[in-house]
Chains A and B, each alone.
Chain A
Amino acid sequence: MIRGGRSYVSSLPAFSNDAKRLLVCTANTVSIFSTSTALQISSLEGHTAPVTTVIVEPASSPANNILCYCWTASLDGTIRYWDFSVPELLKTINMKLPIHSMVIPSLLGQPADSNEKQFSLFAYVSLEGTRGTNSKKHKSKPKLLHGQVCKCNLTESRLVGGVTLAETKVPEPITISSSGKFFGIRKRHKLSIWKVPDTESERVVLRKITLHHTKRMTVIAFHPTERTVAAGDVTGRILIWRGFGDKTFASGDGLAGGKMISNDEEGPGVRNDDDADSCTTWHWHPSEVNLLFFSSDGAYLYSGGKEGVLVVWQLDTGKKKFLPRIGSPLLYFTVSPDPSLSSISCADNQIHLLKMPSMEILKSISGIKLPCSLPEEYEGFGSGVAFDLSSALVALRTENYCIQFYSLFDDRGISEVQGCERNHQPGDDVTVVVTLVALSQDGSMMSTVEVKLAEEGIGGLVCLKFWASESQNKKFSLSTIIYEPHRDAGISAVAFHPTRRVAVSSSYGGDFKVWVCNDELEQKDVMLQSSGWTCHAVGSYKKKAMTAAAFSADGSILAVAAETVITLWDPEKNVLIAVIGETLMPIVTLSFVGKSEYLVAASWGSKPQLSVWNLSKLSLSWSYMLRVEAVACAADLSLFAALALLPESSKCQESIGTTFQGRDGVILLFNATDPVPVATWSARKAKGGTLAFLQVNPSSIEENISDGKPPQTLLAYMNGDHEYVLFDPYGEETHELNVIPPKDLVDPEEIGQFGYASIYGELPEFELKRNQTLWVPSVPSEKPWETLFSGSSHNLPPLTKLCSAFLESLLEKRTAVVE
């Protein structure tokens, strides 16, 4: 079972001390990427819920740069301490409450004392708890979630009793200054800032100030050296308070005297009686500011927001510099210990590594792109996902008019094709939509459909594009553009012929067209020079809207759904062969079941239906009243899988409600001859999900599953958020699973042990690019120290080398997997 497609931008990433690695929170694990290649090297696995914070322990001196320790906090209520070079779990602290954010001030900036070890390490965590348990005042509303900021003693692994610094409606992320002296949270219209006491102990009372604003704040940042804090609000303003907390914090330092005099002197722009010298406002961002960061020397402020432009403010003058057209909302900005490298996380699941002063993008860690929002009339369209079955790639349409090719086995983006040459502005309303993506069976040809929406009835345009890739590298180049292929009618489906260079497009305008690539024509003695696609035939049936199309496995039959009936055509001669059946609602998906004589059709609407048609009898074989989101057919067997959304009614029922908690879909595996499903699995976020049977070539499965007999095909399920899972649908164990309540395959919080994993336990994540040096085997059986020193003394390597090898051989090493 392979999982992937996780979000890389759920929380702030962290650089390692040598800036060669980037630690990214990816759901339950922390993935470690190399900054030079932007490929994943290893991962920290152990948390059972999404990881929310990763903090790399900074090196106290440059010599210690190779130290690789980090703290992670997760929603499963644990804080863990890792050596991520090995990678190895060193320590687990259970807080019992979901942790949304954590800061450890003493790691930052505090002078490294020689007797540092004697002090305990304190962290400040933002927890999620219920009001009923923690606060006695509000017993009337026990279910209301709320967040609280607490102090935690990491050395003794417990919360510091009685110290709850703040309570908020929702758990807020804590921001800390890079010197580690202050940390703060935002509470709607207020900022709460605490000063970290110089000597940490459990009893020390933290001083707190509050800064007020009239708008809801979204992000805060501390100046690295001065007492300056910046905050962004929902309207796009950036507020900078200078000299905050002079009165409150300074008094504690014993410098109170002089400052207290200026008590009645109001700082310009400071509201209420906020403790700050001055407050200035900068306004450039048109919408919410998501990202604020002071440069390490404190001269610049980086800001970014929904519009996808990174703005660099010169702090003294307010002059701006821009890095425009990043193409998606910016979320986080991190600097590395190496001053020339920083990273920026974007909402489209990309982390860009920036070369710093020039702000060039060096590399991009590209996760799977998120589903893009569509205008309403195109909401019902498929998910815009096409699978390349042979090479286990998936083509996804993205927000910025690209088609992303994502490798399911490697769990990384392979390439991107600019589907239509436009710049995407994240804030704008969508006016150009890539509605359909289709790939040929061998993955060498692609077809996309894009729609330009009309402005008050002017200038709408539908384009059908055909792409070709020369080799396996998936670098597609545009071969043919067809403007308005079906006049102004929208295209409902595009399907490729399984063997030849032929495609069909069906339209709501009541016709379908068969397109032929000229290479195909040339064999028929027609002289043509450039390869391009031309219309070969046009067909229509009673002027009904054509809603779906599919070729049979051998390509001899073309099935086109004309609203509620299925018409079968000879694609070569364009002759109507037969018309079958009538469904209740218009058909949206058609698919031939492998090489068998069955055809699956799914229709949506008020009376949704999944129906299986027998082509030899030209009649309905069986059908279900199910809203089927996606259908996938195995290439050679008569099995097919359907992703069905659970109807609203069944979700409400108590008995089922317990089984399907939070899950809205079921994957059903059918044999086409039999209406009883062979296997079922329940799934989360099934709306907008897709299914596909992937062919597995033995070479890749060898590394993948060290089982004796690798599965022939894997079933891939991608949910509405583009997280995916690959599993073997024919495994013996899966059939047994049928009777017991189906296990969740998608939700990372509750991993169903199943199939291979149920017997042998979870396999490590499969990594093609695994760095050999990091792959540490478990303790070797032979004893290296016996042979290490053998041989004549003048042949021995120097003692310094031998010593480390010797010591290493004595140490017991464990694998990264924590059972």
Chain B
Amino acid sequence: MAEDLQPQSHVGKSFPIKPKLKPKARTLSQTPESKYWSSFKPHQIPNLVSSIHSLDYSPNPPHLFAAAHSASLTLFSSKTLSQHSVINSFKDVVSCSSFRSDGSLLAAADVSGLVQVFDVKTRTPLRRLRSHARPVRFVKYPFLDKLHLVSGGDDGVVKYWDVAGESVVSNLLGHKDYVRCGDCSPVNAEMFVTGSYDHTVKLWDVRVENSRSVMEVNHGKPIEDVMFLPSGGLLATAGGNSLKIWDLIGGGKMVYSMENHNKTVTSICVGRVGKDGGEEAMQYRILSVALDGYMKVFDYGKMKVTHSMRFPAPLMSVAFSPDCMTRVVGSSNGIIFAGRRKKKENEESAVGNFWSLGRVEEPRKPTLRPTNYRYFQRGQSEKPKEWDYVVARPKKVKLGEHDKLLKKFRHKEALVSVLNGKNPENVVAVMEELVVRRKLLKCVSNLDNEELGLLLGFMQKYSTVPRYSGLLMGLMKKVLEMRAEDIKSSDALKGHIRNLKRSIEEEIRIQQSLQEMQGIISPLLRIAGRG
């Protein structure tokens, strides 16, 4: 108690000199979430024929993903990000594809109005579903349902298919414009939503008799993509440059509207973030891509954009692998921007241990005897246990050579030693310390020619750096004044001065051009301010 109340004494301490602190960057790349999203190592898959309309992951490991581009559907391995196989049996541009919940079948729709079901392994078309009169834009397997399909197209009709019989179970009418997208509920096999260019999203339930929509929400813009959020109670719609979150259980109320994109949002998907088993284990995020080339990560819990990434092309589609290891973004010029995280070995080994049966008998260590050299060293490198109270050794203050010299009041030696070092910050810090001790000019006058050359070289390099110029410009003037005689008599020093002159002239030129620029900009700013 009494010790806590005691003011700690500052007696007998010595402080090493420290360079001035640098301002910390206030960019967002520092957050753990940004770190997570940047940890996807970028990888480009180029040379696909044209715009990638759709990307879909297989729900089964090893999580193949299908990219629909032009008149073909390419399957990629998500491990190596290399091409796995190509399905070419399309007559027209493929618009959409969907894996079945077990990953063995794949449904794909094309612009000719045909929906085909393929075996993923053999790539043979098993069923052809022909009923749409106009291009089909959306096809999807319902949740945990292996027998049915939902599709929608430019004829404005949403069809619920019986796949085995290649027949339409019900035609769901209601959209007044092209149906472009849709999603099936992640909690219910009978419910799904579709989005259309008539600005509305309709919620359908196939159990309802009269084939009317159960609910509809109006986004206000032609809808490009619609998606259930993992809870099944929320809906995300993308249209125009906005992304909106809707509460279905609450009767179709809009929860939030995110308008961070500059151009049309083309595709959205659900991503997950966070470490496995941590406190923030696996939180869901919405990934949205837009024609402006940005992918944004939206945290719909905090209603905040937590990360944003720029790609050099308009983006058309996005997908995030179920194992959280890869994310792929499709662009309009046929490039897939994939990203893959590094796998941690320990995760796998942990899983391995979990499955291994019984305990593996560990080989017993032989007890150490005094005959062994290690006997005498035992315990020396022991790591403290978690519960151990560690008596920390008092931290030793690290003193640089210049610090030691400054402590001995050998000022000139300190300056020279730090000039020989590589760190300009330290040099300036030592100079500042010398200023405080009123010894800098004395030091300068004591430098011999070689050391003066060192100082001039340093000044030539750094005197125009804005952080140091305040001190160095003043010092340079003084140095030139004080040591004019020595400089005149030495060729080497003259050379330094010439270099110095050149760098100063260059700086002046830069300043002049900056001023010109400022002259151009400031009236504009004035006008903008007035408006």
Q: A interface vs B, CB < 8 Å?
A: 36-39, 323-327, 352, 361, 363-364, 366, 400, 402, 404-405, 413-416, 418, 421-423, 428-429, 431-432, 452, 454-459, 461, 473, 481, 483-484, 488, 525, 527-530, 532
Q: Is B431 an interface residue (CB 8 A)?
A: yes
8 nearest A-B residue pairs (beta carbon): A459-B435, A37-B2, A458-B474, A421-B15, A455-B435, A431-B436, A413-B7, A415-B7
Report 9 cross-chain contacts, Cβ distance below 8 Å, ordered by A residue.
A37-B6, A38-B2, A39-B2, A364-B9, A413-B7, A455-B441, A458-B435, A458-B478, A532-B24
**Cα A414 to Cα B2 with chains together (Å):** 11
Distance, CA A431 to CA B435, complexed state (A): 9
Residues of B bordering A, CB below 8 Å:
2, 4-15, 18, 20-21, 24, 26, 28, 30-31, 304, 306, 431-432, 435-438, 440-441, 470-471, 474-475, 478
From A405, A415, A458, A529, contact of B30 by CB (8 A): A529
Chain A residues near B437 (CB-CB < 8 A): 428, 431
Question: Roughly how many angstroms separate A796 CA and B6 CA in the complex, as a whole number?
Answer: 43
Asked if B436 and A402 sit within 8 Å, CB to CB, the answer is no
Given the known interface contacts A422-B15, A458-B478, the answer about A416 and B438 at a Cβ–Cβ threshold of 8 Å is no
Q: Report the separation of the CA atoms of residues A483 and B6 in the bound assembly, to the nearest whole angstrom.
A: 32
Does B31 lie within 8 Å of A527, measured CB to CB?
Answer: yes
Known: A352-B9, A532-B24. A459 touches B471 (CB 8 A): yes
With the chains together, A463 CA to B242 CA distance in Å?
Answer: 46
Residues of A within 8 A of B31 (CB): 527, 529
Q: Are B14 and A423 in contact (CB under 8 A)?
A: yes
For B33, the closest partner residue in chain A by CB is A527
Contact B20 A458 (CB under 8 A): no
A432 surroundings in chain B (CB, below 8 A): 436
In the complex with contacts A325-B12, A361-B11, A481-B21, A458-B6 CB distance below 8 A = no
CA of A418 to CA of B20, assembled, Å: 17
> What CA separation (Å) do A404 and B8 show in the bound complex?
11
| Complex contact A361–B9 (CB within 8 A) | yes
A455-B438, A525-B304, A530-B24 given; A361·B431 CB < 8 A: no
A327 to B20, CA, bound (A): 24
B467's closest neighbor in chain A, by CB? A483
**Given known contacts A361-B11, A364-B6, A527-B304, what 11 new A-B pairs fall within 8 Å (CB)?**
A361-B9, A416-B7, A423-B13, A428-B437, A429-B438, A431-B437, A452-B432, A456-B441, A458-B440, A459-B471, A528-B26
How far, in angstroms, from A431 to B2 measured CA to CA in the complex?
A: 36
A452 to B431, CA, bound (A): 13
Kindly state the separation between the CA atoms of A455 and B434 in the bound complex, as whole angstroms. 9
Contacts of A37 in B (CB 8 A): 2, 6
The residue that A366 contacts in the complex, of B2, B7, B21, B471, with Cβ under 8 A, is B7
Chain A residues with CB below 8 A from B10, complex form: 327, 400, 402, 416, 418
User: How far apart are A549's CB and chain B's nearest CB, in angstroms?
Assistant: 24
Report the minimum CB–CB distance from A816 to chain B (whole Å).
23
A residues near B4, Cβ cutoff 8 Å: 473
- Contact A421:B26 (CB < 8 A) given known A37-B2, A431-B437: no
Bound: A264/B26 CA distance, A: 85
Nearest chain B CB to A158 CB, angstrom units: 45
Q: When the two chains form their complex, are residues A38 and B6 in contact, meaning their CB atoms are under 8 A apart? A: yes
* CB closest chain-A residue, reference B440: A455
Contact between A483 and B432 (Cβ–Cβ < 8 Å)? no
A422 partner residues in chain B, CB cutoff 8 A: 15, 436
> Closest CB-CB distance, B103 to chain A, in whole Å?
38
User: What residues of chain A lie closer than 8 Å to B440, measured between beta carbons?
Assistant: 455, 458-459
B431: A residues at CB distance < 8 A: 459
B11 touches A452 (CB 8 A): no
A39 to B7, CA, bound (A): 11
Q: Flag if A325 contacts B13 (CB, 8 Å).
A: yes
How far apart are the CA atoms of A532 and B22 in the complex, in Å? 13
Cα separation A370 to B8 with both chains bound (whole Å): 18
- Most chain A C-beta atoms within 10 Å of own C-beta, residue among B6, B30, B31, B470: B6
- Min CB distance, A772 to chain B, in Å? 15
Q: How far is the CA of A819 from the CA of B13 in the complex (A)?
A: 47
Q: Is the CB of A461 within 8 A of B474?
A: no
Q: Shortest distance in angstroms between A5's beta carbon and chain B's nearest beta carbon?
A: 15
The interface residues of chain B lying within 8 Å CB-to-CB of A461 are: 432
A367 to chain B, nearest CB (A): 11
Cα A352 to Cα B12 in complex, Å, equals: 12
Report Cα–Cα, A361/B12, bound state, in Å.
9
Find the A residue at minimum CB distance from B16.
Answer: A421
The one of B5, B7, B11, B304 that contacts A326, using a Cβ cutoff of 8 Å? B11
Q: Tell me the smallest distance from the CB of A535 to a CB of chain B, in Å.
A: 11
Contacts of B24 in A (CB 8 A): 530, 532
Tell me, in angstroms, the Cα distance from A352 to B15 when the chains sit together. Answer: 21
Please name the residue on chain B nearest to A352 by beta carbon: B11
User: What chain B residues lie within 8 Å of A423 (beta carbons)?
Assistant: 13-15
Quick check: B8 and A416 within 8 Å, CB to CB?
A: yes
Q: Which residues of A contact B5 (CB under 8 A)?
A: 39, 414
Q: Which residues of B contact A363 (CB under 8 A)?
A: 6
Q: Which of B2, B8, B306, B471 contacts A458 (CB 8 A)?
A: B471
Write the nearest CB–CB distance from B24 to chain A, whole angstroms: 7
A768 to chain B, nearest CB (A): 10
Measured CA separation A455–B475 after assembly (Å): 10
Smallest CB–CB gap between A762 and chain B, Å? 27
Q: In the complex where A455-B435, A530-B24 touch, is A414 in contact with B15 (Cβ < 8 A)?
A: no
Check if A327 sits within 8 Å of B474, measured CB to CB: no
Q: Nearest-CB distance from B432 to chain A (Å)?
A: 6
**CB-based contact A456/B478 at 8 Å:** yes
Complex interface: chain A residues within 8 A of B435 (CB): 431, 452, 454-455, 458-459
Q: How far is the CA of A744 from the CA of B487 in the complex (A)?
A: 68
Complex: A527 Cα to B471 Cα, angstroms? 35
Q: Given the complex of chains A and B, what is the CA–CA distance between A414 and B31 in angstroms? A: 38
- Given A37-B2, A525-B304, A530-B24, the answer on whether A325 and B11 have CB atoms closer than 8 Å is yes
Closest Cβ–Cβ distance, residue B433 to chain A (whole Å): 9
Docked Cα-Cα span, A530 to B20, in Å, equals: 19
> Roughly how many angstroms separate A64 CA and B397 CA in the complex, as a whole number?
47
A313 to chain B, nearest CB (A): 20
- Closest-by-CB residue of A relative to B475 is A458
- B444, chain A: closest CB distance, angstroms: 10
> In the complex, A811→B475 CA distance in Å?
79
**Which residue of the partner chain A has the closest CB to B442?**
A455
Cα(A256)–Cα(B440), bound, Å? 63
- Min Cβ gap A30→B in Å is 22
Query: In the complex, are the beta carbons of A414 and B7 less than 8 A apart?
Result: yes
Q: Which residues of A contact B7 (CB under 8 A)?
A: 364, 366, 404-405, 413-416
Q: What residues of chain B lie closer than 8 Å to A39, measured between beta carbons?
A: 2, 5
Q: Are A459 and B11 closer than 8 Å at their CB atoms?
A: no
B298 shortest CB reach to chain A, Å: 13
Q: Nearest chain A CB to B438's CB is how many angstroms away?
A: 5
Interface centre among B20, B30, B435 (most CB of A within 10 A): B435
B135 → A minimal CB distance (Å): 42
Shortest beta-carbon distance, A421 to chain B, in Å? 4
Contact of B18 among A421, A455, A458, A484 (CB under 8 A): A421
Instruction: Point out the residues of chain B lying under 8 angstroms from A366, CB to CB.
Output: 7
Query: What is the minimal beta-carbon distance from A223 to any residue of chain B, in angstroms?
Result: 29
Minimum C-beta distance from A595 to chain B (A): 35
Q: Give the distance in Å from the alpha carbon of A416 to the alpha carbon of B6 in the complex.
A: 10
Question: Which chain A residues border B470 with CB–CB below 8 Å?
Answer: 484, 488
CA distance A352 to B11 in the complex (A): 10
The smallest beta-carbon distance between B485 and chain A, in angstroms, is 19
* Cβ A324 vs Cβ B12 within 8 A: yes
B436/A483 in contact, CB under 8 A: no
Give the CA-CA distance A402 to B5 in the complex, in Å: 17
A701 to chain B, nearest CB (A): 21
Residues of B within 8 A of A527 (CB): 28, 31, 304, 306
> How far in angstroms is the closest Cβ of chain B from A435?
15
Q: How far is the CB of B131 from chain A (nearest CB, A)?
A: 49
Residue of A nearest to B431 (CB): A459
Q: How far is the CA of A528 from the CA of B28 in the complex (A)?
A: 7
Contact residues in A for B432 (Cβ distance below 8 Å): 452, 459, 461
